Amino acid sequence: MTNGKEDKEITIYDIAKRLKISPATVSRALQDHPRISAKTKKKIFELADEVGYRRNHFAGNLRSQKTQTIGVIVPRLNSHFMSSVIAGIELMANEHGYSLLISQSSESARKEADSAEAMFNSRVDGLMVSLAYDTNTLDHFDKFFRKKTPVIFFDRVKPHRSATSILIDNYQAAYDATKHLIEQHCKKIVHITAPPMQNVYKDRLAGYRSALEDAKIKFREENVIVTNLTQEAGYESAEKILKMKPLPDGIFVANDSCAIGCMIALKEKGIRIPEQIAFVGFNNDPMSTVIEPKLTTIAYSGFEMGEVAGRLLVNHLNSTSQINNTTTIILRSDLIVRQSSLKSPAGH
Amino acid sequence: MTNGKEDKEITIYDIAKRLKISPATVSRALQDHPRISAKTKKKIFELADEVGYRRNHFAGNLRSQKTQTIGVIVPRLNSHFMSSVIAGIELMANEHGYSLLISQSSESARKEADSAEAMFNSRVDGLMVSLAYDTNTLDHFDKFFRKKTPVIFFDRVKPHRSATSILIDNYQAAYDATKHLIEQHCKKIVHITAPPMQNVYKDRLAGYRSALEDAKIKFREENVIVTNLTQEAGYESAEKILKMKPLPDGIFVANDSCAIGCMIALKEKGIRIPEQIAFVGFNNDPMSTVIEPKLTTIAYSGFEMGEVAGRLLVNHLNSTSQINNTTTIILRSDLIVRQSSLKSPAGH
DNA sequence: TTGTATGCGTTATCAC
DNA sequence: GTGATAACGCATACAA
């Protein structure tokens, strides 16, 4: 029930006047300042509520030199994984009164730098980034580092002495994936991945290689196919695979979309999966249960990664202490076995 | 090449001082004010550039009472369609100096109202909303309407005299989808949809019904299955369908995920698609080409919808004139025929 | 525990 | 074409 004119914004001055107290007291009460008596606080809160007071962020932020805004730069928005991450971040941020400024690099280092610049100009309090496909330097974040604005890299990260990283153990996950194929008696295992410029692909390649070597299978350069990991790339990779002699009997792909593109193409050529070629993907995209046979994959939660990153940043921002910045957080990932990799009926 | 201390923010005062002119002139020049001489403008721009001046949004917005921020509320972030819409909005917004404040309602009218409240408190210059599953009133946007803050509904819309709507012709699309099934000689066509509370489902139901009636097929209430349209719901709907006698020979589902869930379940029960039951979905989700057989569906571009909505809002905000608000914009949609609906080999 | 006074960096309204 | 000056709404150092 608002009575009278609704369109005039209420300020702390209005409240102060009506309560015959000073604006400073109102300001402090609204911030739950300890040195204000419970009584006055109550009065103030009640009136504020009644007249529909809303804090003017611009005035407050101008004064306090804080923006209450977190910048997020991702390669693309429209992947299941990334939008889950954003959802996780959004949850934490909203809970703590932060807003999100979201921007996509479209997998381009240049656009990533532009976005960083824009974020910097917006004076975000903190920045969360998953690096673009071809980012190979962190120079465009120097401004943030110099200004001690916290920067968190997630999933696609590069180590930096003044940034936090959140990721999974890509090496181990790839090792497990490859080992699983070996246990299914695969002898020639191909790895489809992106250029090893990003940690995720470098580590997955290393895990793949180690698993092979531990099983006394020789690692061969020619069994690694480097693509951009899109579904189309997977489709095209199938041609290369069909030319291999002998045909591989197992393929470990560094992401699900690409694996699925490849599977579709191979199936069209009459290859039987998993009998002739077994498949393991990466990411547990919803599509992995739609493809036939269902895709064995590495699962890790984007939502959780977003939550963790968000919580970390919020804690950092709310604590006055300078937290040690160069942390690395490893989240859990799991191999999910589905039909696409099961040569032997139900785990031999 | 910045020389000296980098951490002190440059203000228009600093520029004014160094150029021995007034801050007012600097401010005007930076806004490209017509009454400032080209010469002084040039000097100012150059120096601003050199010293790395960046405008303080908070001060400016406090003064001008504009936030340069657009609020976006969507049911969920992590669907292909929605993240494409966001990408489209982001493109337009960034181009015109607007930031995006994004929040998800998680398909709950209550959370939607909360988000709207938060957006209102953040004083967004404009709001873009795709309504939650169970939103049946627009009351929680009244504050915006009263304050004449432009509101644009997209995809899941409700008509309102002071809001713009952007959507596709759901009636026609559903009509076409159903007609297509009829042309494939389907006699008993089931429709799986959500409660007709939202325009999209109401209109799709109406289109389905009209197509049937135009083909002299009696519309039957019991052939409409109401669910929440998730993939799981599709899976469960399969049970209901299997109990029908006779079995339907065509199913039109109001979205792809649900269609796919249903197809998977039916295939598990040995039903042949499309021979026994033909399928048409809605949305052209990437999954629709992964499922086997590939899913016939209605395609429309989320990215385009986002772009159009963004452009409209930006134009509105930049023009001083009060544009007629109660516009409705219909975007194009297309029936994409794939194997899931082709009973007769390749279009008879 | 509360009040006074000032400044955060802009933009806008006057003047000149 | 440019300059002085007053807000915008809040938070805080300093008083009381």
Query: Before B293, cis peptide (omega within 30)?
Result: yes
- The separation, in Å, between residue B64 CA and nucleotide D8 C1' comes to 8
Q: Is the CB of residue A78 less than 8 Å away from at least one CB of chain B?
A: yes
Q: Compare all CA atoms of chain B with the CA of A81 and give the residue at the minimum distance.
A: B78
* CATH of the domain spanning A5-55: 1.10.260.40
- What confidence score (pLDDT) does residue B97 get? 80
**Which residue is closest to B295 within chain A, CA to CA?**
A290
Q: What is the pLDDT of residue B4?
A: 36
CB of B56 nearer than 7 A to strand D: no
Measured in angstroms, the CA of B212 and the nearest CA of chain A are apart by 31
Which tokens sit at B287? 């999954």
What residues does CATH 1.10.260.40 cover in chain B? 5-55
CB A177 within 8 A of CB A259: no
The pLDDT value recorded for residue A147 is 84
- Strand D close to A23 by CB, under 7 A: yes
d(CA B242, CA B239): 5
* Portions of chain B given CATH number 3.40.50.2300: 68-169+301-333, 170-299+335-341
Task: Name the DSSP letter for residue A337.
Answer: -
Closest CA–CA distance from residue B39 to any residue of chain A (Å)? 26
pLDDT digits (tens, 9 = 90+) for A300-336: 999 999 999 999 999 888 775 555 567 899 999 999 9
Among A8, A81, A71, A20, smallest CA distance to A47 is for: A20
Residue whose CA is minimally distant from C9 C1': B59
CA distance A263 to A246: 18
pLDDT at A77: 83
pTM: 0.87
Q: How distant is C1' of C12 from CA of B26, in Å?
A: 14
Q: Which nucleotide is nearest to B13 (CA to C1')?
A: C9
Which of A200, A301, A293 minimizes the C-alpha distance to A253?
Answer: A200
Could you read off the pLDDT tens digit of each residue along chain B, which spans 348 residues?
Answer: 333 344 578 999 999 999 999 999 999 999 999 989 999 999 999 999 999 898 998 999 999 888 888 999 999 887 889 989 998 998 898 888 888 888 889 899 999 998 998 888 888 899 999 999 999 999 999 989 988 889 999 999 999 998 999 999 999 999 999 999 999 999 999 999 999 999 999 999 999 999 999 999 999 999 999 999 999 999 999 999 999 999 999 999 999 999 999 999 999 999 999 999 999 999 999 999 999 999 999 999 999 999 999 999 998 887 755 555 678 999 999 999 999 999 876 544
Q: How far apart are CA A72 and CA B310, in angstroms?
A: 20
B82: nearest Cα among B255, B258, B330: B255
| Chain B: closest CA distance from residue A62 (Å) | 5
pLDDT value of position A6: 45
Tell me the Cα Rg of chain B: 26
Q: Angle at which helices A80-95 and B80-95 pack, to 10 degrees?
A: 70
Question: CA at B158, C1' at C13: how many angstroms apart?
Answer: 43
Of A150, A83, A72, the C-alpha closest to A116 is A72
To the nearest whole percent, how much of chain A has pLDDT over 70?
95
Local structure of A273: helix, strand or coil: coil
Judged by a CB distance cut-off of 8 A, whether residue A104 touches chain B is: yes
Q: What is the pLDDT of residue A5?
A: 40
Residue in B61, B101, B120 nearest the CB of A58: B61
Q: Tell me, letter by letter, the H, E, C secondary structure of B21-62.
A: CCHHHHHHHHCCCCCCCHHHHHHHHHHHHHHCCCCCHHHHHH
| A212 pLDDT above the threshold of 60 | yes
Which nucleotide is closest to B60, CA to C1'?
Answer: C10
d(CA A169, CA B190): 47
Amino acid A60 CA to nucleotide D15 C1' distance, rounded Å: 23
Q: Do A99 and B122 touch (CB under 8 A)?
A: yes
B294 has a chain A CB within 8 A of its CB: no
CB within 8 Å: A67 and B84: no
The β-bridge partners of B73 are B103, B129
CATH no., domain A170-299+335-341: 3.40.50.2300
Q: How far does the CA of B168 sit from the C1' of D5, in Å?
A: 53
Predicted local distance difference test score (pLDDT) of residue A4: 36
Tens of pLDDT, residues A53-99: 989 989 999 998 888 889 999 998 878 899 899 989 988 988 888 88
How far apart CA A285 and CA A299 sit, in angstroms, is: 8
- Report pLDDT for A67: 84
**CATH class label, B68-169+301-333:** alpha beta
C-beta atoms of B292 and A287 within 8 A: no
Distance of CA A179 to the CA centre of its chain: 26
Residue B63, nucleotide of least CA–C1' distance: D8
> Rg of the Cα trace of chain A?
26
Tokens 């695979």 map to which residue? A241
Is any atom of nucleic acid chain D found less than 7 Å from the CB of residue A209?
no
Q: Note whether A118 contacts B79, CB cutoff 8 Å.
A: no
* Helix H or strand E encompassing A118: helix A109-121
Hey, are the CB atoms on B90 and A102 less than 8 Å from each other?
yes
* pLDDT confidence of residue A188: 97
Q: What is the mean pLDDT of chain A?
A: 91
